[in-house]
Amino acid sequence: MPSSHRPARTAALIGGLVTLALAVVLPAAPAWAHNELTTSTPTDGANLSAPPRQVVLTFAQRLDPRYTQIVVTDGHREPMPAKLPTVSGMSASLDLEGDLPDGGYTVAYRVVSPDGHPVQGALTFSVGPPTNAASPSDAPVAAPSASASHLPVAVVVAAVAATLLAVAGGWALRRNRVRAR
Domain that holds residue 135: 34-145
At 138 the pLDDT is: 45
Examine the domain organization and report whether 57 and 85 are in the same domain. yes
Examine the domain organization and report whether 118 and 69 are in the same domain. yes
At 41 the pLDDT is: 97
CA of 21: how far to CAs of 27, 31, 91, 168, in Å? Answer: 11, 18, 35, 19
At 40 the pLDDT is: 97
At 129 the pLDDT is: 78
Examine the domain organization and report whether 38 and 118 are in the same domain. yes
User: Can you give the pLDDT of all 181 residues of the chain as single tens digits?
Assistant: 555 566 667 666 676 666 656 665 555 444 456 789 999 999 999 999 999 999 999 999 999 999 999 999 999 999 999 999 999 999 999 999 999 999 999 999 999 877 778 899 999 999 997 655 555 544 444 444 433 444 455 555 566 666 766 676 666 666 666 666 6
Examine the domain organization and report whether 97 and 53 are in the same domain. yes
Examine the domain organization and report whether 57 and 112 are in the same domain. yes
β-bridge partners, 127: 48, 103
Examine the domain organization and report whether 157 and 140 are in the same domain. no
